[in-house]
Structure 1
Amino acid sequence: MPPSCRLKPLAAALAGLGWPLAFAAVAQAATPAAAELPAVQVQAARVRGVDPFDLPGSFSEVDASAAADRRGAQASELLDGLPGVVARDRQNYAQDTQLSIRGFGARSTFGVRGVRLYVDGVPATMPDGQGQLSHFNVMGVERAEVLRGPFSALYGNASGGVVQWWSGAGAAGDPWRLRTTWGSDASFTTGAQLRGAQGPFDYNLAASHFQTDGWREHSRARRESLNGRFGWALAENRSLSLVVNYLDAPDAQDPLGLTRAQFEADPRQATAVATQFDTRKSVRQSQAGLVYEQQAGAGNLRVMAYGGQRAVEQYLAVPVAVQANPLHAGGVVDLDGGYGGADARGSWHGELAGRPFDVTLGANADRQRQHRTGYENFVGSQLGVKGALRRDQRDTVSNFDQFAQAWWQWSARWSALLGVRHSEVRFRSADDHITARNPDDSGRTDYSATTPVAGLVFRATDNLRLHASLGRGFETPTFNELGYRADGGAGLALELQPARSRNYELGLKWRGDDQAALAVALFRADTDDELAVASNTNGRSTYRNIGRTRREGAEASWTQPLAARSQVELAYTWLEATVREGYAVCANSGCATPDTWVAAGTALPGVPRQQFSARWSWTPGRWRLAAELDAADRTPVNDLGREAAPGYGLLALEASHEWAASSGVLRAFARVDNVFDRAYVGSVIVNDGNGRYYEPGPGRAFLVGLEWRFVAPGTAPRVD
């Protein structure tokens, strides 16, 4: 049965759930209210400051306090249980959180790509679309915001979805915090947060230390991180904010993936070559951003500039014999470089034809310079050490984008949001390692795209919105994907084209007076020139454009208070991600030329068809109790779709208690994950050339912690 046919029954079921509610509400309010909707300030491409309820898109906002009883070491802890989002803790701290939104980004085997990331308004995604979340300090976060659907395209290249992390401004009376946890596998965290305000100055500074021996063999890790936000009220309606981040993660061990047989025999083991070559990764990053905002009458100006340095050294398990090829880049990757950029935008609020109207215009430019070197991972017979130089190149990627967005409420019930973004992305690579057998690999290529989006919102009642939106998006290859040619020749894969998508969404949002909320969305994304692995051999991957793909499905979330201080939160996602045009791939390790056909209709790898999560919480007095259920369908692991990680369902329990004192509050908490000790695959390595697709999740795990919140010196406690 075609995917579109399979979508119809679910669409009908969801429509049956939500749309009668809409029409009943319209019938009750047949006469439009005379009052106008509140004015909405729209910021181009960021939607920051806009009530998500009044915009034609799917948004989720996560309060960090919901994860207060967890370890506080991974970004995935705050993204669990969101519709349309897959955020997986890989139990491998040499790799970043595995993140995808509605199937975008699921193919990534390195970092985060296909999803745009921001930390306090500063980009955490580079101009080529490659991003990482490891540098953000989880203890300092106040909330996370997730945008899904067509309007993600207003963020530019590789924006199949958008995740923004906010640490929040300090205020007088905010408590300072000390926090520590102990858990299974010798895991330990400790951290401090200083937050408050003195006159026109506010601050939010968080620092933490994390270490673990790891659930699997050869997975020990340590991280120190710092996140700071400092604000100054310069004068009336003018402010300046400084955001700083720092991360040091030395020698995080990489246990690599397992084959299915290895997973079933012993999921805690590491692949033999992981210990043989001592596979590991070190990351050090520092970053700072400055944001200036000014309000002048009906206008608003925002200017942001940022810069940073990032160094990465990674030891891979590339066999010595493979590196005999003079074109091979070796088994040690060493990256060091800087990046930065600026964003300026102005908005104006007034009236058009006597109705509320907002318009925003802006531009941004980003640039990354990276010195990439490669070395042999052996010296003589000693493995896992840095040997002879095999690669030396200087890469530069930059973008210059312009955007515009307008919102108009042309009647009491209807509003429209329109936007367009033009992006230009330029890649340059200069090869400094040229020998008689290794020719000059320098090269350059440019990409550009214009991505329009449009949406409508119908205000059925004060508590109900219906919306529809559509738009275009695009995703360039990253430097990692341009690094090698699929035909084995020297130089960059300059023939790669950007993937271009057409995105559609229909949705319903409802919220009750008792803080109940329901959101339902049907979506589809059709992509041309999808980027996928062409070959994975001799320690390197090559990529190519495979043709047409489709991601379509439905998602729903429901929050319902049950009684005083108790509520349940539910989220469900159904996603059919398939190939629409057949293509050939390499089916075996060592294959350099695609030789096996992938038929149209085959599921895209890395995307579970169904996800469900439920969380119940109860706060009787100074206690807080919670239970979480997370379930996922089977996940295909390669392009052929012949193998998949099994589905799973996991239960977690939490409990905490607070004791008040004259100078603050002491909180003790505990959590048990995977209560029934199920064996499961937590994440997958898509298209691994050795068939080691599986990264097992941990068995039953325990965590206990203490947190002390006390009043900052010289301030009075905040009264809520």
Structure 2
Amino acid sequence: MKIFSARQIACSVLLIPTSVIPLAAIAEQTTNNSDASSTMIVTATQLTPSELDTPAAVTVVNGNDIRHAKPRINLSESLGEVPGLQILNRQNYAQDLQLSIRGFGARSTYGVRGLRIYEDGIPSTMPDGEGQTSNIDLSSVSSITVLRGPFSALYGSSSGGVIDIQSQKGKQPPEIEASSYFGSYGTWRYGLKATGATGDGTHSGDVDYTVSTQRMTTKGYRDHSGARKNLANARLGVRLNDVSKLTLLFNSVDIKANDPGGLSRSEWRSAPRQSPRGDQYNTRKTVKQTQAGLRYDRQLSLNDDLSVMMYAGQRDMTQYQSIPYTPQLKPTHAGGVIDLTREYQGVDTRWTHRGNAGPVPFNVTTGLDYENMQEHRKGYENFHMVDGSAVYGEKGALRRDERNLMWNLDPYIQTHWQLLDKLSLDAGLRYSNVWFDSNDHYITADNGDGSGDTNYHKWLPVGSLNYAVTDAWNVYLSAGRGFETPTITELSYRNDGAPGLNFNLKPSTSKTIELGSKTRIGYGLLSAAIFQTETDNEIVVDSSAGGRTTYKNAGETRRRGVELGLDEQFADNWKMKLAWTWLDATYQSNVCSDSNCNGNRIPGIARNNVWASLGWEPEEGWYASGDIHYLSSIMADDENTAKVPSWTTVGLTSGYKFRYSNMLVDAYTRVDNLFDKQYVGSVIVNESNGRYYEPAPGRNYGVGLSVTWQFQ
């Protein structure tokens, strides 16, 4: 594996110290809002190492920062401060955000691929690697932890990066919060949240609770982009006795959204708000998802702990696409309407032991993770013929009917060894197994049986050495192997047009090496990492025409880059944050059928991504802040013939907080894209008709208000 030169690595690490994340599966973490350097992470091992002391790249975003003077609608509002993360708002609630970590997930044309997302321990990523962010309730988030680098592999298949969301744990005294936001393009969000607890959480019968619900509606920046979303999230903790606790989790989301689709370059330049295919085909999507979880934690002894997480959910989705009727006349075409029902469930059981091997302290966590998903997928024509003409946006004849089953069963182990006073070793191993089984129930004379099954498996080792140069400066070196399977959507169609799953599509494997350091600076934390990832059998688009997309393996790719993060507080009430990512992601073999793509940039990935903010933020009274975001150009296709230009936007926020009796009032106003930059906010990778461009809004405004009443 090619790596950076010793001089490059040494210079980068000595000049820029960095931050990291815990090695065990993240269960819960707490943050001190007034002191960034005291950010603590509670892992499944019940240890509490700080970001400074954990040997992997991590950023923890505090829930108060996520809500402070923000709409609370999209993750893209608050995760710009995370190095290595590229998160773009597509202005399309039918297709979710465009999210990638160190380039993993960039190929996704909808939803999230190649990353693992968890909410209170429940995966928002299915066993095949396809996930979504639409069910995350930002009003009740306690923290969001973003893990990059080799140790992501310990979360199994499709873990190019990990995003772990934790809901607020109720505490005394009880509070009720009412919040609202009104912004440009008819955007309106309002919500209600209640938190509280009985007792201090340490005695039998003590209860803590958080219940949150909200509704969002928008007309959308672009034509045919209106949406409505209802969201609810709840968490209930019950202390059973001195050594055990039970936590109940519930989440529900209901979305109805129009789909404006992408634009060609000429369409974008002439009228960026238009949606010609959206209007013509009445493209839209409805989603209903409900899930529940149960976590049991028990202290078996002074040195042993047990945790069991169980969950189940159902997701119903119907989507109308912009596919002409002519391709749908082919006997093997799946139609222009997707009707999908998914049921998913899983169990993650882990045991943690702390002890000594002679003079060497150590801890070990071992567990077994089982995830299962069954889906009933139907396809229909998206038209009716009236007087010889196609009327689109109507569900027509059945063209696809199949039941798919996906599951994984992964044993894993993670260890930490304190070899010397300043030197520690962390290592882990996971055996990832993923099975696919498809049963085709739509079989005709011209459409053969597409049933089939396959499975993938891989050992995923990781390791890291951490050295404490001083009490405030650590340096680490880590390496590991990752594994990404095709999703069921990517397996659905064969490249030769014949029925059946695309069994020629192989999983991709990656090897990553990373060197970093991290240091406290005043009340803040400065972090940096330099890394390189080489991937074999990268999964890319092969062809996309007539509403059908096929995939293939790209041979070798390389991602190498540098990440820098700063979270600093100074002069009491001044706060400054900075995130910079330089990422060089290229093909190392030819993936194009009609040209040589060796050395081309991988589409969907910006080479430079810079985000910075500065604000005056006292506990009460007037506050104000400004932020700037720069994103360099992004290639839209493998051939690198289409490119989205670079852009820079500036935002300003001002507000006032005051207390009256038991009530806290926070009113604010914000301006985004202050200088009215006309730009493309996201790109549809390898769109076959050249409609790559998803325009972002110009200057836009918003006002918000939250009122919190505390019972005492």
With the shorter chain as reference, the TM-score category is over 0.9
Residue among 330, 350, 358 paired with 1:325: 330
Distance in 2, matches of 1:40 and 1:368, equals 30
Over 3 Å counting, the alpha-carbon distance change for 1:299 and 1:394 in structure 2 is: same
Please tell me the residue identity of whatever aligns with 1:481. Answer: E
Q: CA contact under 8 A between 2:16 and 2:564: conserved in structure 1? A: no
Q: Give yes or no for the alignment of 1:353 onto 2:361.
A: no
**Of residues 605, 608, 612 in structure 1, which corresponds to 2:606?**
608
CA distance in 1 between partners of 2:59 and 2:42 (Å): 19
Q: Is the 8 A contact 1:214 1:220 kept in 2?
A: yes
Alignment of 1:279 with 2:283, yes or no, is yes
Deviation at residue 177 of structure 1 after TM alignment? 0.6
> Partner of 1:276: helix, strand, or coil?
helix
Which residue does 2:270 correspond to in 1? 265
Contact 2:560 2:584 in 1 (8 A): yes
1:698 alignment partner, SS class: coil
Q: What is the deviation of 1:415? A: 0.3
CA-CA distance at 1:160 after TM superposition: 0.3
Q: Deviations over 1:534-578 (max 9, x none)?
A: 000111100011100001010111223342210211111000000
For residues 93-127 of structure 1, give each alpha carbon's deviation from its aligned partner in whole angstroms, at most 9, with x where no partner exists.
10111110000001111210111000011111110
Alignment of 1:424-573 (within 5 A): 424-512=433-521, 514-573=522-581
- Please point out which of 239, 242, 260 is paired with 1:233: 239
Partner of 2:119: 119
- Residue 695 of structure 2 is aligned to residue 696 of structure 1: yes
Check 1:224–1:520 CA distance in 2 against 1; reply closer, same or farther (3 A cut): same
1:424 touches 1:448 (CA, 8 Å); kept in 2?
Answer: yes
SS of the residue corresponding to residue 487 of structure 1 reads coil
Letter in 2 for 1:413: K
User: Shift of the alpha carbon at 1:184?
Assistant: 0.3
User: Which position in structure 1 is the counterpart of 2:12?
Assistant: 14
- Counting only pairs closer than 5 Å after superposition, residues 535-684 of structure 1 correspond to structure 2 as 535-584=543-592, 595-620=593-618, 621-684=620-683
Rate the CA distance shift 1:479–1:637 in 2: closer, same or farther, 3 A.
Answer: same
The amino acid of 1:364's aligned partner reads D
Q: After the TM superposition, which residues 61-100 of structure 1 pair with which residues of structure 2 at under 5 Å, given as runs?
A: 61-67=60-66, 68-100=68-100
**2:484 and 2:51 mapped to 1: Cα distance?**
25
Task: Look up the SS of the partner of 2:512 in the other structure.
Answer: strand
67-76 or 119-128: bigger deviation: 67-76
Q: Distance in 2 between matches of 1:656 and 1:366?
A: 45
Query: 1:43 offset after TM fit, Å?
Result: 3.6
Select between 656-665 and 542-551 the one with higher mean Cα deviation: 656-665
2:287 and 2:42 mapped to 1: Cα distance?
39
1:333-348 superposed matches below 5 A: 333-348=338-353
Q: Residue 365 of structure 1: SS of its match in structure 2?
A: strand
Match of 2:427 in 1: 418
Aligned: 1:256 with 2:264: no
CA 1:48–1:352 in structure 2 vs 1: closer, same or farther (change >3 Å)?
Answer: closer
**Alpha-carbon contact 2:13-2:515 (below 8 Å) kept:** no
**Letter matched to residue 491 of structure 2:** L
Give, in whole Å, the separation in 1 of the partners of 2:232 and 2:558.
40
- Retained in 1: the 8 A contact 2:510–2:534? yes
Aligned position for 2:162: 162
Query: Counterpart of 1:205?
Result: 211
1:136–1:226 contact (8 Å) kept in structure 2: no
Q: Is the 8 A contact 1:41 1:358 kept in 2?
A: no
- Contact residue 461 and residue 481 of structure 2 kept, 8 A: yes
Report SS of the residue matched to 1:536: strand
Paired AA for residue 530 in structure 1: E
Equivalences for 1:701-712 in 2 at 5 Å? 701-712=700-711
Cα distance in 1 for residues equivalent to 2:470 and 2:87 = 34
Q: Deviations over 1:46-97 (max 9, x none)?
A: x995433222100100012223211111122231121000111110010111
Separation in structure 2 between the aligned mates of residue 556 and residue 542 of structure 1, nearest angstrom:
37
Match for residue 398 of structure 1?
Answer: 407
SS at match of 2:497: coil
| Rounded Cα–Cα distance in structure 2 between residues aligned with 1:361 and 1:633 | 42
* CA-based RMSD: 1.8
What CA distance in whole angstroms lies between the structure 2 residues aligned with 1:684 and 1:62?
26
Is 514-523 or 416-425 further displaced after alignment?
514-523
TM-score normalised by the chain length of structure 1? 0.92
What corresponds to 1:589 in structure 2? none
The answer as to whether partners of 1:42 and 1:406 remain within 8 angstroms in 2 is no
Q: Matched residues in 2 for 1:626 and 1:331: separation?
A: 46
Cα deviation, 1:423-459, whole Å, max 9, x if unaligned, reads: 1100000011111111111010010011000000001
- For residues 181-196 of structure 1, what are the structure 2 equivalents within 5 Å? 181-196=181-196
CA shift in 2, pair 1:13/1:701, >3 Å: farther
Distance 2:391 2:599 in 1: 47
Letter in 2 for 1:214: G
* Pair 563,425 (structure 1): closer, same or farther in 2 beyond 3 Å: same
Residues 40/125 of structure 1: CA separation in 2 closer, same or farther (3 Å cut): closer
Partners of 2:623 and 2:316 lie apart in 1 by 41
Q: Distance in 2 between matches of 1:699 and 1:275?
A: 22
Deviation (angstroms), 1:515: 1.3
CA–CA separation in structure 2 for the residues paired with 1:15 and 1:494: 43
Counterparts of 1:349 and 1:239 in 2: how far apart (Å)? 20
Deviation (angstroms), 1:9:
8.9
Instruction: Compute the TM-score of the two structures, normalised by the length of structure 2.
Output: 0.93
Greater Cα offset, 90-99 or 70-79: 70-79
Equivalent-residue separation in structure 2 for 1:578 and 1:356 (angstroms): 43
> Is the CA contact (8 Å cut-off) linking 1:176 and 1:195 kept in structure 2?
yes
Structure 1 counterpart of 2:225, from 212, 219, 222: 219
2:22 aligns with none
On the 8 A contact 1:98/1:112 being kept in 2, the answer is yes
> Which residue identity lines up with residue 235 of structure 1 in the other structure?
N
- Contact 2:575/2:617 (<8 A) preserved: no
- Give 1:375's match in structure 2, choosing from 376, 380, 387: 380
Distance in 2, Cα, partners of 1:184 & 1:159: 36
Q: Which runs of 5+ in 2 are unaligned?
A: 19-39, 200-205
Q: What fraction of aligned residue pairs are identical, expressed as a percent?
A: 40
Q: Are 1:188 and 1:210, in contact at CA under 8 Å, matched by a contact in 2? A: yes
After TM superposition, give the deviation of residue 492 of structure 1 in Å. 1.0
Q: Which amino acid aligns with 1:615?
A: S
Q: CA offset at residue 261 of structure 1?
A: 1.2
Instruction: Supply the distance in 1 between the matched residues of 2:236 and 2:623 (Cα, whole angstroms).
Output: 32
Amino acid at match of 2:702: L
**What is the one-letter code of the residue matched to 1:526?**
E
Moved more, 690-699 or 10-19: 10-19
Q: Deviations over 1:17-52 (max 9, x none)?
A: 2379xxxxxxxxxxxxxxxxxx998648xx995433
Q: Distance in 1 between matches of 2:495 and 2:674?
A: 46
Taking a change above 3 Å as real, the CA distance of residues 9 and 376 of structure 1, as seen in their structure-2 partners, is farther
Is the partner of 1:190 in helix, strand or coil? strand
**SS class of match (2:213):** strand
Task: Specify the code of the residue in structure 2 equivalent to 1:543.
Answer: Y
The residue that corresponds to 1:242 in the other structure is 248
Deviation of 1:14 after TM superposition, in Å, equals 2.9
**Distance of aligned partners of 1:486 and 1:50 in 2 relative to their CA distance in 1, 3 Å threshold:** farther
1:292 aligns with 2:258: no
- Which moves more between the two structures, 502-511 or 560-569? 560-569
Q: Distance in 1 between matches of 2:42 and 2:170?
A: 23
User: Which piece of structure 1 moves more, 325-334 or 377-386?
Assistant: 377-386
In structure 2, the partner of 1:108 is 108
Q: What is the alpha-carbon distance in structure 2 between the residues aligned to residue 391 and residue 182 of structure 1?
A: 42
Q: CA deviation at 1:583?
A: 2.6
